[in-house]
Structure 1
Amino acid sequence: MCGRTLLLVSLGLLLCVTAGDARAELVAYWPLDEGSGTTVGDLMGMWDGTITGDVSWIDGHQGTALDFPGGNNFVDFGNVEIGPSMTLSYWCFNTTKTFERPLGQQAGNYTTVPGWAVYSRDEGEGGVWFRVHGADNAWDGGDIIIADNLPKDEWYHLAFTFDGETRELKGYYNGELKASKICEEGRSIYPTPSDLRLGNTGAGGAYTGALDEVAVWDNVLTEDEILAAMDGHIGGPNPNAARPEPEDGALYENNWANLRWKGGAFAVSHDLYIGTSFDDVNAGAEGTFIGNMGGVFQVVGFPGFPFPEGLQPGTTYYWRVDEVNDANAASPWKGDVWSFWVPPKKAYEPVPADGLEFVTADTSLSWTAQWKTVMYAVYFGTDADAVAAGEGGPPVMDASFDPGPLAGGTTYYWRADIFDGVEWIKGDVWSFSTMPEISISDPTLLAWWKLDEEVGATAVDWSGHGNHGTLVGPQWTSPARLGPGLNFSAGDYVAIDNLSYSRADLTEVTVSAWVRTSSGSDQYIISFDRNEYWRLEINGNGGGQGQVGWDVMTSTGQVDYGSVSRIDDGRWHHVCGVFDNGRLTIYIDGLAEPSATGGPTYGSGNMRFGFIGANSEAGSFDGNRGGGNPVAGDMDDIRIYDRALTQEEILLVMRGDLLLAWNESPADGSTADIENAMPLTWSPGDNANRHDVYFGTDRDAVADAETSDTTGIYRGSQSGTSFSPAEGLQWGGGPYYWRVDETSTDGTVTKGNTWSFLIADYLVVDDMEGYNDIETGEPGSNLVYETWLDGYADPTNGSTMGYAVPFEPTMETGIVHSGHQAAPMAYNNVGAAFSEVTRTLAPQDWTAHGVQTLSLWSYGDPANTPAKLYVKINGVKVNYDGPAGNLTLAEWQVWNIDLTVVDTNVQSVASLAIGVEGVGATGTLLLDDIKLYRDPPELAP
């Protein structure tokens, strides 16, 4: 809780308690600093909240915060008692400007039931409003609007007060009063039957953004008290210095300054530190301490004062004020480190950015200039030396320049000089390169975003059709799956230029992408509008939690279709949606999921532009996106074809550059058990006849090494496609990194991607992750009941492996111990002698690597009949060592079996059975994570 003070008692700061009301004015304070888990604590101790759904802990304005993805994801604090007056204070980070309700206590949108809510406004309106309910259904009788265009890329503070007696409503933005009104008679917040919720108030408009430092009072705070809350001091006077001038992070155009601040509540004097290094000022390093001040100001940048030579252009200055009172044991109160930036006197922040590639041919140039500027001179061309030497250029009055049409695939150099009325200030020479001419090699490949650019705001379309994307928010990341890629957070997207749909007779399309996410909630991969053309997504209308959705508007109606397999395991997966004359098929990692059917064509005929990472309702480039969020993670190599690819072609698309080594094992980013990790294997790139192998434990060293390496990273050139490190792999070791460069028959070397893997501290018997519902005989089919044989064909065996509900998944995906699914095992000993499922194994050594414990996780149900659990190893029965009633517990329980006392040859285990015995016993267990450990039973995870 750095930077935050909660003073409840002591120093005469007891919270006010009014006569006849035992509730303190500060009702609840949720710092949101837990950082993990599903409980959100109230520092007042009364109103803890519970997280429902997929809400993420992130770095916040102070400590951690909560990030909401929209949808049915929220925090519920119960029916928090506030009123009849109130103050609400919180910090907000919201990149998405749509109609949403971040927080509130309301029974509906327009309702006569007392309550309140915050409403964010859409992009066109901007700002936010606060509504008090309790009267008629009109919106304007109890609303105020803060109409400022609130920022998308930084935290900002909002506060609202409502006086229950006078009905005066006020709104503050970053501590400044922005709106106020007297609400109509009848408007009231108290008493309300509604729960206070963050993220989704239950009345629609679920929030997509982050919240931090939420607090509510049942009285009206003054402006000074709101400023104190904004400064992080909730519940009492602020002992720290606050409200710096210049403001923290300010751009400051002068070579001297009068630093000022508001003194802390108990300060007698003030220790001032200032310097050009954050770390030095924060640590109070030598040379940063200016002195102990009696006043709350200090001049700098004049002779006789700190920095007598003046503040230097292009320099960031950091400063800190510690508040001092020698009579107080809590003194000194260390202050936050503030900063201000003195900009350069020459031009800076060129657009396009210096060194930027893939700039469009119709770009214009601009730059930033501060201080006093009269005019500019611009020098431009393809010769860097000529641009650097240029003099006497024609004057330009604005900080922009139109160079005219530019040639493709060309590097240009330019310079902007500034005349300040006294002298010309020569600028730096900048450069950029225009988009290369990209030829069309496959006319059916409409768009191909490799996402390899790494810098800039353009995703280049390498299909040759010019359907480039404009980045709005996502960040370049490297490595991704096939080189660099893009990382998306809530509100990020890429607007697709040029490409649009406006026909109703389209017969085929293929859309593919590499995706990595750990979230199973609604996420958009790429869309040209689900109910006009198509949308590829996770969850959403077509899929379930973590499944891929492929939604197509066909000639006979909307088809929302989903995969059986999930991809929300934090690993890279290739997802592909195909529409082929009425047949819809999803491919995951090259394997087909069960198909769906619709009309023979798709499309509505309405104009639609598209987005990567967003829904689309856009009739023009970068138009209306509707609601929703992108993949919560990374994407790479996205393609659109106007034909239906075959499975063989999709497998080629997955590879990206066909000259690269591929199909690596262990898979990139995976955790392998030591039995299956070696040898490392791969499939060769096309035309490769030699393979240079690099291996080590330092990613950068492996990525950068060459054949001349002498540190041991380079492991030599070989003709085969497998490799075993001579030093072996360590139990529980890693991460390990490796790379394979391919040498083709013509001598060309293609540098490989850098892959990584971990070695587990266990051996997997069955983690239940590989099973699916693909029908027997179909490619990729792996049905759990075909591996674990149950009592289907044996009337004496009452077991059923997997859920047996028609058209429903066989595996359990909601309640899992780890990973994304568990296996249900039903037992029914009414008329059957026992219930047992058996898996036959290729003989396994269950003593290898020193393992001695078989660990089995199970989850019961209160409706189960208590019964005795057992396993059979090679047919030898081992009875559960806990009470029979444990089968009724709705919680994950581990049974650790000491293999050293099992009366069978555990060096050659060929079968494992799991059973339940007890006459008349019925119920269902969930099974997960059957593993072998070295650790004693009590330490096995």
Structure 2
Amino acid sequence: MFKKLIYSVFILLVLSLVGTNPAFGVVIWEGNISSGNDSVEDQLSRGMYMGSSDLEFPDDGGLQVIGLRFLNVGVPAGVTVTNAYIEFTTDPDTSGTEATNLIIDGELSPDAPPFTSVDFNVSSRSGTSAKAAWSPEPWPTAGEKHQTVDISPVINEIISQAGWKLGNAMALMIRDDPDNPSKTNRTAASNTTTLLHVEFSSKFAYGPTPADGAYHSDTWASIAWTPGETAVSNDIYFSDSLTDVMDGTPGTPGFRGNQATADYVIGFPGFPYPDGLVPGTTYYWRIDGIEADGTTIYRGFIWSFMIPPKTAYDPDPADGAEFVDPDAEFSWTPGFGAKLHNVYMGTSFDDVNNAAGAMPLASASYSPGTLESEKVYYWRVDEFDPPFTHKGDIWSFTTPGAVGNPQPANGAVDVQMTATLNWTAADNAASHELYFGADGEAVKNATTASPEYIGPKALGAESYDPGGLAWHSSYAWRVDEVYPTETIKGLVWSFTTADFFLVDDFESYNDIDPPDAASKRIFDIWIDGFGTTTNGALVGNDLPPYAEQTIVHGGAQSMPYFYDNAGKTSEATLTLVYPRDWTAEGVTKLSLWFRGSSANAADRLFVAAGGTAVVYHDDASATQLTGWNEWAIDLSAFGVDLTNVTSITIGVGTKNAPAPAGGAGTMYIDDIRLVR
């Protein structure tokens, strides 16, 4: 997916000695919070507070998590951040003088979405593994500037993600340190004075123009880049073949030469692609930095840009959108060179596909009037660039009342192989016709005579179990709604299964107490030592939320695990329904994430498979390891047959010790998986 090329102005300060090449210096980017909704308080017991006039770290009538979202971050992919901090201005409501101990991390997203008013919108976001502990001194004077500790490990983890690009948004989160709780607050102004400062350098070329993944609306380009800090020349690779650029070496297809300057013309007479770059084509390029010795080479990243197609693209609403307002206005991005647009819309795919002769439109928008509810609509935009007309793709959407809400969600990834399909029926449908398969195009075109046809489903039976799905595979499905007078063909939905077996990610547990049939409390599923004298483990909180919702590795919940090994060993056991075959699909490791505390009594962790096969963590004081730590256990270490594992136990101490002795502490467990 390509985004439009947007040129933004960034504050870039180059620190270098006078007379030296600026590329050998350190680059600084600074950016401020743009609006009040990018500086928010997630008040864990009271909901989200948007647009607060101040930020209390970490308590405002209850613990809270501060969310800061910086837009148009001028740090490109592929660089190394050497120093970074957040700068705050103290609030007139001055802070206390006792200790404040905070943890700073970032949202593990390559382009952080806006904050919303939904409860836990900050604390539920997946955080970076990198954390920075910050204990600011008292802030007694209003209006002063104060900076955090270095948060460069957090920034580096964010920008190292696939999908990070220059100009993306970055979210940072500040919360109380659970290992060293604060005794009072520090209070900062919540306004545009909050600043993110980032210093970076790179031995690799960075900062491509056109930007990586951009649309470039011309048939020629002057590509440019910032050289690596030690490069004296650059090897240039450019092609419409990804393979040529990926595998290129000097003298092979795609190699364009070596030069000292950091720009190169493409698509112009006398240069590569002299007849111009072709609309609808993606071009790939790579810059290798060459040091003065001629042998030290820093192989560059592969960048790409696309010349827009001559057909319309980027429809709004998006293709496959559900429950679109019947009075919506429709828009799109015009095709390359388009002067006029012809729009066709209707409830029949074939009619829209075959339509012709629409009234030309000058603008890239269309208002069809009020549409019918409970329908699937198709639309097409043909682009006219005299003397040619370029027929567009057919897009689709539904209006309110139509079949929808697919589970797994359309486009979902990491779906478990045991997933069932569920959907919401159309308001007035009498029954359904279900189609399912591995080929999306085949599902789209399937009829009741096709192998993808599963069969009819009665109203009230909006569910289907496809059986065991394949490992890391893509699937498509479709639900047609049957009415007394017609059958309405549904949209094609898709999902991809995971490349792991999920043992537990703790997301399914709730705070509903018995006897409600929907109750699924974490301590009713993970059996601990409650009510015993020999097991010192207790999982879950005494009061809701029973699962931990602030200290999480992934998703919105983790398992709090309290241990007391005074004369006991601590164990919590999950009876397995699935997965029980720990040899299926070639899995070789059990992966789990845990978090300890330096304040915990030192002890070791163990995992037992089936109650008897035990593996201990290599660190005898694993309970004191801070931050989130992955423990990847080679399954062969259990030394038993793993084709029918009935339970998994997580313990602290030594299993079956004759005279256990130890102390107490708190652990957090998350994301237990079987992986290859």
Relative contact order: is structure 1 or structure 2 higher (C-alpha 8 Å, sep ≥ 6)?
Answer: 2
- Classify the TM-score, shorter chain: 0.3 to 0.5
The structure number with the bigger radius of gyration is 1
- TM-score (ref. length: structure 2): 0.47
- TM-score (ref. length: structure 1): 0.36
